[in-house]
Amino acid sequence: YTMHTKARTLEYPCSNVKKFPVASEFANWNVPFPEYKPVDYTSEHILQMPPYADPDIRKGPAKVPLKFNALDTTYNTDRKSYTGEYKVVQGVPRNPVGRTGMIGRGWLGRWGPNHAADPVVTRWKRSSSGEKVMKEGKPVLEIVAIQRRDCKEWALPGGMVDPGDTVTNTLKKEFGEEALNSLEVSPEENKRIQEHLEHLFHHGTLVFQGYIDDPRNTDNAWMESQAVNFHDDSGNAFNKFTLQAGDDAQHVKWVEVSHELRLYANHLDLVKEVAMQHNAYW
């Protein structure tokens, strides 16, 4: 249950809501916890049903029932979990990792898994003369990190897979929006960005697919993501871009990869995996 820490944070993000405290030994559903009284919260915004949000199925049956553990074409969303088959208890999905202290959906639109994609863009850290910087005999990696506007924490420039969209497209789209400000540059510059992204994001290595220990998770709705590494070995490819934060990111920069880095949710676990794959300093 180390992967289920941020999801048990007492203060629910962007709200005044305090969750029911769940100590780590009670996170596991198999451990009896008769005192457990999770708070029930779904944000007003989600209840107003933006296009990516599900109906409130506890209020009454949806016009078309949601298909859990399946590709749900009616709602244009994949409700399968990377973790395997999840339980549906009294009509609502149950968090496959454990108790969070909250039922309902909080800030998440979907019941069950909410799918995201996280691009991990890397290059070697180099000195001004172009030599790879070494530490403890290993080359040092750098990643593109953004500062989230919502909680101010540094994170991978990831985002939700829109209804009907693919993970591959989401990786490019979110990197463009959050790290290159593609939504606000001129149409010509945007065209240039899209062409480069198409090229650079052609060869990626799958790093992770699974549960994300996101502070927005609840007992009935949680984040899952696929993280893909795009590595610029020569260090020339990303020189064609100027990093510029946009959309839900307020800052963007290259940061040195090491165990000392602190990132949103369990993003550091994903980055560590990348460092291991490249045999880089950690």
Q: Which of these ranges, 33-41, 158-166, 219-227, 256-264, lies near Mg ion under the rule CB under 5 A?
A: 158-166
Give yes or no for a contact between 245 and 147, defined as CB atoms under 8 angstroms apart: yes
Q: Shortest gap between Cβ of 263 and ligand RP5 (angstroms)?
A: 10
Q: Which residues within the stretch 221-260 sit at the binding site for ligand RP5 (CB under 6 A)? A: 223, 225, 248
Return the residue nearest ligand RP5 (CB atom). Answer: 158
Taking CB under 5 A as the rule, which mask of x and - marks residues 173-202 in contact with Mg ion?
-x----------------------------
CA proximity to 15, closest of 45, 37, 35, 38 = 45
User: Rounded CA gap, 249 and 102, in Å?
Assistant: 27
Return the residue nearest Mg ion (CB atom). Answer: 159
Alpha-carbon dihedral of residues 173, 179, 181, 186, nearest 10 degrees?
-80
Q: Which residues within the stretch 107-136 sit at the binding site for ligand RP5 (CB under 6 A)? A: 116, 118
Tokens of 72: 């749900």
Q: Which of 96, 101, 159, 215 binds Mg ion (CB under 5 A)?
A: 159
Q: Does 97 bind ligand RP5 (CB under 6 A)?
A: no
Question: How big is the site for Mg ion, counted in residues (CB under 5 A)?
Answer: 4
Q: Tokens 């800052």 correspond to what residue?
A: 251
Q: Does 46 bind ligand RP5 (CB under 6 A)?
A: no
- DSSP state, residue 194: H
Q: Which is nearer to ligand RP5, 72 or 214 (CB)?
A: 214
How many residues appear in the chain?
Answer: 282
User: Rounded CA gap, 221 and 218, in Å?
Assistant: 5
Write a three-state SS string for 142-163: EEEEEEECCCCCEECCCEECCC
Residues at the interface with ligand RP5 (CB under 6 A):
116, 118, 155-156, 158-160, 212, 214, 223, 225, 248, 265
Residues at the interface with Mg ion (CB under 5 A):
159, 174, 247-248
